[in-house]
Copies of this chain bind each other. A is one copy, B any other.
């Protein structure tokens, strides 16, 4: 909508005229014709019907004072233009001007020329609720509640994220400074320019056809997956995909989803929240141990085959074959195609979904491609679970928002995604090299794992100090890291999971130096 047009039309707001009478005597709700009409925006829900005759300016002043005192009109808010408020309330403009003048005189409000009249102070008003400080948004949580690193709770990631730190080496973030703002805005402009009105209505809970089509093309090109757009459910990130899958599996009587050990604490928390038990299966240098998986008796397993979290192991060929047998015996793989797009020193590896369409719930997201804040991912499931998953998505949120889906579809179809990924990869690789080098220089006894791909690496220091203590001490010195113990169940080995993709080289070097210092002091 054109701003200048809107401005021009503001002057022509006419007081509302009541609508046509309804057609029958018992249609009471439509009838209160005696009430004043209004075409305003319910500012303070003012109703001139409340005002005593002849005392309109008194009444309006009192109402505004009350709203200032009880916090509905906090300091800093702008009062509506006098002409507009007068029009809405069907008062003469003089009444509103007089009320604003009185508020200004007693110090509640102040005029700022053509910018309008603003609330500047909130003294208590007799008879009104006690004054409130203006509302401000506070940070999410107290930083570093006790036990954050030793016994992480449901809000562990939120607590760590909101803890203040100079350098954030948490894993899982791409180079956020490189988010393609101009390309995004350009794509959004194109989308908004061509969209039909109905696209702003409710949509298919599985997502827009445009994005589902662009995604299957993308997955075919880059992950070897051949699928139909109708198989895709667009979701709010891999976290949501896990929640939907957990709900549906538990509902289908599959109450256990085995997980990799070590493996993502966050993923485990998600499955458990939705009622699935998560028996651990050890990971070795070839990936998950399929013999141990069989021994758990679990009918489903969560895997990160492309770049195991947190070890970085790529699932080996013999393990892939063993998993195919396990699937043939009725097993279901939940494949989190984590970090697949970021690889540096090794050839690409196809998704398990490309070989095993009927035995895999496949999930991925743009969190590591563009940004986690977009909250867009995808889920491709075997046919037997699809209807239940669509129901779960529908009753979770009726489907993802449409505009960001259409923007992403455009970025995928125009090749912008590939372009962005190519550039990110070069930057990420350089930062990876800086981190590996810093670790070599500062922590000569430590072992680096999983640096051939991804956005993080894991460093272990056998015989060294407890990693939760290291993480806590590093945070005290302004460096945020995740202890490996967060992600370990039975396999315990002190270590840290360190993200490098989101930080400039100098921060990486400084962060590693601080961590090395802490480890030396605690050893």
Contacts and interface: CB of A to CB of B under 8 A. Distances in A.
A452 B222 contact: no
A513 interface: no
Given A137-B230, A176-B198, 19 more contacts: A1-B183, A18-B344, A19-B429, A19-B436, A22-B448, A23-B444, A29-B314, A35-B347, A41-B425, A45-B223, A47-B347, A49-B347, A135-B216, A154-B391, A176-B197, A240-B397, A375-B402, A397-B397, A403-B404
Interface residues of A, number: 178
B341 A42 contact: yes
Interface in A206-228: 206, 209-210, 212-213, 216-217, 220-228
Nearest to A436: B20
A30 B202 contact: no
A32 B452 contact: yes
A376 B397 CA distance: 10
Interface in A16-54: 16, 18-24, 26-33, 35-47, 49
Contacts of A340: 42
Contact of A401 (B181, B239, B404): B404
Nearest to A450: B29
Interface string A430-455: 00110011011001101111111000
Contact of A43 (B182, B221, B344, B397): B221
Given A236-B236, A269-B395, A273-B395, A347 B419 contact: no
Interface stretch (A65-73, A144-152, A295-303, A319-327): A65-73
Contacts of A221: 42-44, 72-73, 77
A523 interface: no
Highest count of chain B CB atoms <10 Å: which of A40, A177, A178, A349: A40
A186 interface: yes
Given A3-B186, A19-B433, A312-B29, A401 B401 contact: yes
Interface stretch (A105-113, A328-336, A366-374, A470-478): A366-374
B182 A185 contact: no
A80 B417 CA distance: 13
Contact of A394 (B74, B155, B370, B415): B155
B204 A162 contact: yes
Contacts of A448: 22-24, 27, 30
11 contacts: A1-B180, A19-B345, A19-B432, A24-B447, A32-B452, A37-B344, A39-B422, A46-B348, A154-B394, A155-B394, A158-B394
A294 B72 CA distance: 33
Contacts of A26: 447
B223 A42 contact: yes
Contact of A140 (B38, B204, B398): B204
A343 interface: yes
A502 B200 CA distance: 11
A182 B2 contact: yes
Contacts of A2: 182
A135 B436 contact: no
Given A30-B451, A200-B373, A135 B213 contact: yes
A165 to B, nearest CB: 11
Contacts of A33: 345
Interface string A225-238: 11111100001110
Contacts of A374: 200, 401-403
